[in-house]
Amino acid sequence: MGKKVEINTPAPDFELADFNGRSVRLSDYRGERHVVLVFNRGFT
């Protein structure tokens, strides 16, 4: 299991594919006021 993120600390940077398959990094949104992340589990 990965490291635990402490409250009131910046989230670690990571990279995932968006719904179009393009690579997106959390750091791409640095400086934005709000960022909403949604992690869906697979639908099988």
Q: What would the DSSP string read from start to end of 1-44?
A: --PPPPTTSPPPP-EEE-TTS-EEEGGGGTT-S------PPP--
Query: Is residue 37 very low, low, confident or very high in pLDDT (cuts 50, 70, 90)?
Result: confident
pLDDT, average across residues 6-16: 87
Non-local CB neighbours of 29 within 8 Å, separated by 6+ positions: 35
pTM of model > 0.95: no
Residue 20 pLDDT more than 80? yes
Residue 11 pLDDT more than 70? yes
Q: Is pLDDT larger for residue 36 or for residue 2?
A: 36
pLDDT, average across residues 8-23: 89
Nearest to 29 by CA among 44, 11, 41: 11
